[in-house]
Amino acid sequence: MRALLKPVIAKELGVVLLKPGSELMPMFISGRVLVESQPASMSSFETGRVPDLRQPLAVDPALRPFFLHQKVITAAGGLAGLEYWLLRHGGGACQYQLSDYHYHELTTMRHEPGAILLCGHCDNRLREQYTERLAELARQNVIDWVLDIARVALALDKTRELSLAELCWWAVRTGVTDALPESVARDALRLPAEKQTYRESEIVPSVPASSIIADKARALPAAPATPAGAPPAIKPVVGVLVDPESPQTLMKRPKRTRWENAKYLAWVKTQPCECCGRPSDDPHHLIGWGQGGMATKAHDSLVIPLCRQHHTELHNDPVKFERKHGTQPEMIIRVLDRAFALGVLA
């Protein structure tokens, strides 16, 4: 739990007094308290306990083992999903700032434990290298990505911080509660911190907080079990059948049919808006480019996740929209690439 305290400084004596108030006094009574400089992200906060929704989980050292756990990375979409996220939401600039020259095209370089967004010049320069500076940058990318994926999965506004309770609920939904550190699980369940020393008479076996969360997760409907010893199968949302000799291909004037798939449309609706990253509205079907003419509609594979604002903007003026945000085919290619990379289409 973080708190902003108002110090009273006696300059002549060089003494700093903290006034925690009645709400925060239990923190000082129960044990040692770490005092540190406030992060820049909290400079505008008022004095007192920082609400859970405003505490940045990305800088909490206790959560680092969770974010960097291989099961959590896999649940968020794997390294392919991280690379896609970096290209779309990584800031649009090379992350290696020690170079005096940057090429205009961006790419990703995998670096333990994640990946880094680099320009072509820095990618060639740093390829196959390992440094602690690059490793820390890769770690922070993984943390920011996991938090963003959890926020999108829970349909939360990207402008606010994710709370610890919400992160734990995402862990329950994705089946990675066993990756939660014990101290984090205790905080999420509002359990008191464990004492470091006990008298022999005080020693009583207790149930780990992480197992409490795991037990509650197991009470939810379970996914189908996989055969013993086999890796968990990633079930695709849509299975795409390929028939190069379908009956229509043998006809001189075949009747074209429109490809429809409600499950794929439902998945696209869960993706962030291709323009701003906010939760999307109903998937937008391609218009123009030879598609979406009078009394016709593009195939369900040619869809783009857009929020209500950008969906309306596109239909009002497609030419102006594409000039500002990029063409519709480019967006569709990115969505299809992500769908195949994540096993949604197979």
Q: For the segment 52-89, what is each residue's pLDDT rounded down to a tens digit?
A: 545 578 888 888 999 999 999 988 888 888 988 898 88
Instruction: Name the residue with tokens 């925690």.
Output: 20
Residue 32 sits in which domain range?
A: 3-50
38 and 70 inside one domain: no
Strands 15-19 and 284-285: unpaired
The pLDDT assigned to 316 comes to 92
Decide: 49 and 1 in contact? Cβ < 8 Å.
yes
135 and 31 inside one domain: no
Residue 237 lies in a domain: no
Residue 233 lies in a domain: no
38 and 84 inside one domain: no
Distances (CA, A) of 228 to 215, 231, 232: 22, 9, 10
The pLDDT assigned to 227 comes to 47
81 and 212 inside one domain: yes
40 and 124 inside one domain: no
Instruction: Name the residue with tokens 């996989």.
Output: 226
Which positions of the chain have pLDDT values less than 70?
Answer: 1-24, 26-55, 191-236, 292-295
36 and 105 inside one domain: no
Instruction: Name the residue with tokens 């505490």.
Output: 55
Q: pLDDT, tens digit, for every residue of 292-312?
A: 655 578 899 999 999 999 999
How many domains is the chain built from? 3
Residue 227 lies in a domain: no
27 and 88 inside one domain: no
31 and 137 inside one domain: no
The pLDDT assigned to 13 comes to 55
In whole angstroms, give the CA distance from residue 172 to residue 186. Answer: 15
Sort 24 into a burial class: Cβ within 10 Å, 0-12 / 13-18 / 19+: middle
The pLDDT assigned to 231 comes to 44
Flag whether the pTM goes above 0.85. Answer: no
Q: How far is CA 4 from the centre of its chain?
A: 28
274 and 177 inside one domain: no
135 and 45 inside one domain: no
Residue 242 lies in a domain: no
Can you list the positions of beta strands (E) in the chain? 3-4, 6-10, 15-19, 48-49, 106-111, 114-119, 284-285, 303-304
The pLDDT assigned to 328 comes to 92
108 and 11 inside one domain: no
Q: Which two tokens stand for residue 10?
A: 């006696």
131 and 188 inside one domain: yes
Residue 108 lies in a domain: yes
